[in-house]
Homo-oligomer: A and B are copies of this chain.
């Protein structure tokens, strides 16, 4: 993929085009073993910094330190900012001070902030010390905004002109300016108090006559964000309104920076990962997380699950009589729990996603709850018939079929209901529904399912 005129397809030819292939990793390790610096540089040269970062993540932890020490100058600022947080600290620890300083000096201030915010105090100081004073002030200013805020996400470099200017004046200004940002897509129009009021795309500017007023060619899509706004809300707005860039203002409404869509895309991706992981009871981890750390991070979720499953077991313990009298119940019991858990996960996932995309609101919540209840009842009825027959045929006792059929209806109804009610309630209470819904919902379906199944069995079969 080094030669941009060459099609990626032509080299690899199937769906894994963008995965680093095993060969590259082995070749890097070979070059490291042979202490062949030229070969290593040759392998790294055509790679994008994001791919070099991936490579460092893929190398076994034992070799990573050697590789970093040996590859040193090949690991520049861009690689540092691409690398996964879980190993970034190590990489920074292993990098000699002067190389680290050189690496961060070449970065834009928002990338330095992104690196700094995850580091320990001493590492932060080392990097801040490496910056020139202007950048250091900018980075410290950015770090003063709350974590996960628009202020942390924005770049300070923006292009703004007075709102009354025309196309010709703006083009002359841009062409006279020597210090334009590396990437910019809009010219921001500001009022005399430096508050952004509109923007013009570069493309529109290029294609308009010199005497046209900027005010006449502004874009409808203009939206602005406050420095303290949550980055998740920013990412949502970029996605919802197809923004490319947007100005950021301070408490007084004055222009302090701009956020571009590529940064919003990264946030969107991180928020998704967080949601998927939280739904599954996984904390912040990646493949580079060490074994001990994943044990420690997954432990609390498993602990909570142990507590809730003990609660479910206590419900079962209430019915020891009927269980010892009719052992078929113990055989069928996990089916009730499993079907309830699955149906609940289905409606819960849809609800959690709809809350995240702001599609589930107070205006349609009642309708969604009703829909899930009816759907739960209907699938419950279908599976009641199926399991009723299976239970009867398997154990030859009609009443066992009846009991599991009724339990199935009750359980799938409760699954549908709790799958949507629990996330909505958590969201109203200000708790991330992705984080806690699963535990609550499966506890409810387990308890209700076992109670319905074994309770009814006690009434009918004892």
Find A345's partner among B223, B280, B327, B450 (CB 8 Å cutoff).
Answer: B280
Expressed in whole angstroms, the Cα–Cα distance for A262 and B244 within the complex equals 7
CB proximity of A125 to chain B, nearest CB, Å: 29
Are B287 and A265 in contact, with the CB atoms below 8 A? no
Contacts A333-B330, A358-B16 known; A343 to B229 CB distance under 8 Å? no
Do A180 and B207 touch (CB < 8 A)? Answer: yes
Kindly list chain B residues whose C-beta atoms are within 8 Å of the C-beta of A41.
Answer: none
CA distance A363 to B243 in the complex (A): 38
B371 pairs with A294, CB closer than 8 A: yes
Contact status B302-A367, CB under 8 Å: no
Give complex CA distance A408, B22 in Å. 35
The 5 A-B pairs with the shortest beta carbon distances in the complex, nearest first, are A280-B349, A330-B330, A309-B338, A202-B202, A25-B363
A50–B241 touching, CB < 8 Å: yes
List the B side residues contacting A302 at CB < 8 Å: 339, 342-343, 346, 379, 383
Cβ A359 vs Cβ B183 within 8 A: no
Q: Which residues of B contact A331 (CB under 8 A)?
A: 313, 316-317, 320, 323
A382 near B299 (CB under 8 angstroms)?
A: yes
New A-B contacts (6) at CB < 8 Å, excluding given A276-B349, A306-B339, A337-B338: A7-B253, A15-B230, A19-B358, A21-B361, A309-B339, A320-B331
Flag whether A266 is at the interface (Cβ < 8 A): yes
**Number of copies of chain A assembled together:** 2
* Interchain Cβ contacts under 8 Å between A and B, 9 examples: A7-B226, A202-B203, A244-B262, A301-B342, A302-B383, A313-B331, A313-B332, A329-B330, A338-B446
Q: Which residues of B contact A5 (CB under 8 A)?
A: 195, 197, 253
Given A238-B265, A268-B265, A306 and B335 touching (CB < 8 A)? yes
CB <8 Å contact, B361 and A20: yes
- Given that A180-B206, A276-B349, A334-B309 are known contacts, is A342 also in contact with B286, CB under 8 Å in the complex? no
Q: How far is the CA of A8 from the CA of B261 in the complex (A)?
A: 19
Q: Which residues of B contact A334 (CB under 8 A)?
A: 309, 312-313, 316, 333-334, 337, 446, 450
Chain B residues, Cβ within 8 Å of A295: 375, 378-379
Judge whether A71 is part of the interface by a CB distance below 8 angstroms.
Answer: no
Q: How far is the CA of A31 from the CA of B203 in the complex (A)?
A: 40
> A339's contact among B282, B294, B305, B374, by CB below 8 Å, is which?
B305
Known: A198-B4, A302-B379. A285 touches B350 (CB 8 A): yes
Tell which of A94-102, A112-120, A127-135, A171-179 binds the partner: A171-179
Selected from B177, B184, B275, B375, the residue in CB contact (under 8 A) with A291 is B375
Q: A424: shortest Cβ distance to chain B, in Å?
A: 12
| Chain B residues closer than 8 Å to A265, beta-carbon distance | 238-239, 261, 264-265, 268
**Shortest CB–CB separation between residue A79 and chain B, in angstroms?**
13
B195-A183 in contact (CB<8A): no
Flag if A201 contacts B180 (CB, 8 Å).
Answer: no
Query: Is the pair B224, A22 in contact by a Cβ cutoff of 8 Å?
Result: no
CB-CB < 8 A to A301: which residues of B? 342, 346
A436 at the interface (CB under 8 A from B): no
Give me the interface of A with B, judged by CB distance under 8 Å.
4-5, 7-9, 15-22, 25-26, 48, 50-51, 54, 57-58, 60, 171, 174-175, 177-178, 180-185, 195, 197-198, 201-203, 206-207, 222-224, 226, 229-230, 233, 236-244, 249, 253, 261-262, 264-266, 268-269, 272-273, 275-277, 279-282, 285-287, 290-291, 294-295, 298-299, 301-302, 305-306, 308-310, 312-313, 316-317, 320, 323-324, 327, 329-335, 337-339, 341-343, 345-346, 348-350, 353-354, 358-364, 367-368, 371, 374-375, 378-379, 382-383, 386-387, 390, 442, 446, 450
Report how far A171 CA is from B346 CA in the complex, Å: 55
Q: Looking at the assembled complex, report how far the CB atom of A327 sits from the nearest CB atom of chain B, in whole angstroms.
A: 4
The CB with the most chain B CB atoms within 10 A, among A261, A308, A354, is that of: A261
A310 to B395, alpha carbons, bound, how many Å? 13
Alpha-carbon separation in the docked complex, A371 to B33 (Å): 24
Cα–Cα distance between A276 and B272 once the two chains are bound (Å): 9
Known: A306-B339, A316-B331. A18 touches B277 (CB 8 A): no
Cβ-neighbour of A361 out of B19, B294, B306 (below 8 A)? B19
Contact of A277 among B338, B349, B361 (CB under 8 A): B349
Which residue on B lies nearest to A443, using beta carbons?
B338
Residues of B within 8 A of A178 (CB): 207
